[in-house]
Structure 1
């Protein structure tokens, strides 16, 4: 019998890979090692837990034991891999040696928290996974006011959801606009207005300098001199790929774990998938590229080398008061934009100097335009 495929991590990338392998091969031995509970859940649902009044348990689609039994895998929960010996094709976990035939690093990414002074900095909450939400849900359930650090995709979604759940919300970012890496200014300003109409206090172009305990509250001081009192602080300032294990194993790393188009690392029989993987210089944290990468990797692991080919992909901004979908290069400074707007929403197309479509953004009632525009875009990788 062949040695098992060992996967480190139990997030969307890992479990999608397991599902895809099982559709093609019911006999291949698979071992999943995770530092978490191993329960199967949809991470994007974390952006809407407040309006839906959901607990961490409500988000679980299948318990770890159920998932392991259903897909016939060995699942080591609450376990950490201590080291990888690529030459011997072994790893150390829980003080034991585990042999692998092929190893997949699906170690994900951790939430980035900027350095902030003050004795309440340790109270900063991150919501980058089920375990983090489980640990913070009681505090967030009773909080009436929340500071959200980071006005990117996740921060803006969480801020809107909190406001919709009748929390007083302050949203801050060092950037001058919302979602600066995704949205052109004229769309970002619409989202700014939508959040403002909900009562969200927007503090952009500044930094959180200090968080101090103030009785039952947290005293917030911003660099622009403004001060607030809140009950909780949530940080959604970005993600940093978890590359330490790969680095210690001698694999090539950059921002993420460097892989080729077949998701192979610099070392034979070791692959990387998901938020931790850097494919030809790209970090691709959205669900669709991870899904397509898992589909290609499953074939490769089962003996049919398969390149990852990514078509244009849609990004959905889950802000119900201003629904937004986009694709392509929507943050290019020299893009020429053509806009069609009415009372229902907007369709904005971005063109390059050769008048070729390079991206688009649709809002509100114009969502139906998205998929026809998507077909006009060139492949991403």
Structure 2
């Protein structure tokens, strides 16, 4: 069998890999690539989903290239709206099904770029299944009209995505409530002193913040959704959106017998426990971490493209710069920003914050957060990180 790379998934990771492979291909040696995806396969910028409301964008506005255009531009075979049912790692083939047919696809190398799905707890109540998630263009397309018509919105989850969505909805004129069992905003990214400043800013802009609380049940009463929170209150909303974190899509990998933990376990070459199967993006776990940000995915895709085209290349993931799309309180951060034993140096100026986290023993820089106009300090600080 001639070399044939099959990629499962059509998100940022999958399409970044396709583009990286094509950059390495020569005119006389074009690698055969087939992409199989359960979605439509359109190429879009997923981070833009965080500010579609204030920009009054529809799902179609976010598409950079249609599925057909992307396939033609990158000389790939695209099986869209197609679900992979099983992987035979011994026979190096997969079974797929779509509306019109079932089939089997042979591969020489297989890449799982199956991404992640939004986590939604098992709420009680007759409207528990009406909670919206916005982790893909397909999900937004299915719910955009409902959100556009809503006047009041409850956002579940005060992490990065939930905070971005809450701000954007408020800018769009919605009455927004943000709730989380955590007691402060973006608890996995910000020290409490900066989280408190973000909290104050959001409150000043009219966002209702219910932190340190959980939603126990969701019921529908006529046109309204009623959420009962752990403080005993019952509040009506038009729409409820869950942004409570992501779970790696590992079902296929588990069926194929690959090693999985939080995600699909890979080594420095992005190889799974099977030598001809690789994993990339939000579904992949390296050194005990799922690195669900753009920079590590881009670097991983470039390294994997070299490996798949005959030049085995390990990926070296440096500290990633995270840029929060929080318009009222723009942030850039990196490193260890929530360790309890760090020594913080925080400078507040009229143009924003610069917060540096140091190791109390060695005084080495461990992490930093820069806000507003002080974000220009981010790249020099990034170079100083261990």
Superposed CA offset, 1:81-119 (max 9, x none): 110011110111122111001000000001100121111
Aligned equivalents of 1:194, 1:4: Cα separation in 2: 52
Aligned equivalents of 2:235, 2:174: Cα separation in 1: 14
Match of 2:201 in 1: 194
How far did 1:227 drift? 2.1
Superposed CA offset, 1:106-160 (max 9, x none): 0000110012111111110000000000000010010000000000000000000
The partner residue of 1:152 within 154, 159, 166 is 159
Match of 1:168 in 2: 175
Secondary structure in 1 matching 2:332: strand
Superposed CA offset, 1:138-194 (max 9, x none): 100100000000000000000000001110001000111111000000110011011
How far did 1:214 drift? 1.5
Structure 1 contact 3–99 (Cα < 8 Å) conserved: no
Alignment of 1:231-250 (within 5 A): 231-250=238-257
Superposed CA offset, 1:205-234 (max 9, x none): 110011111211111110111221110000
Structure 1 contact 218–231 (Cα < 8 Å) conserved: yes
How far did 1:4 drift? 1.1
Match of 2:70 in 1: 67
Q: What residue ranges of structure 1 are gaps of 5+ in the alignment?
A: none
Match of 2:32 in 1: 29
The runs of 4+ residues in structure 1 deviating greater than 4 Å are: none
Aligned equivalents of 1:93, 1:310: Cα separation in 2: 33
Superposed CA offset, 1:21-68 (max 9, x none): 001115100000000000000000000000000000000000000000
TM-score normalised over the length of structure 2: 0.97
Structure 1 contact 146–168 (Cα < 8 Å) conserved: yes
Match of 2:377 in 1: 369
Aligned equivalents of 1:214, 1:8: Cα separation in 2: 41
Structure 1 contact 145–232 (Cα < 8 Å) conserved: yes
Q: What residue ranges of structure 2 are gaps of 5+ in the alignment?
A: none
Aligned equivalents of 1:373, 1:177: Cα separation in 2: 25
TM-score normalised over the length of structure 1: 0.98
Structure 1 contact 90–99 (Cα < 8 Å) conserved: yes
The partner residue of 2:49 within 36, 46, 51 is 46
The two structures, once aligned, show a CA RMSD in angstroms of 0.8
Secondary structure in 2 matching 1:51: coil
Aligned equivalents of 2:11, 2:38: Cα separation in 1: 11
How far did 1:3 drift? 3.0
Superposed CA offset, 1:271-325 (max 9, x none): 0000000011111000000000000000000111111101221101111111111
Secondary structure in 2 matching 1:316: strand
Aligned equivalents of 1:90, 1:3: Cα separation in 2: 13
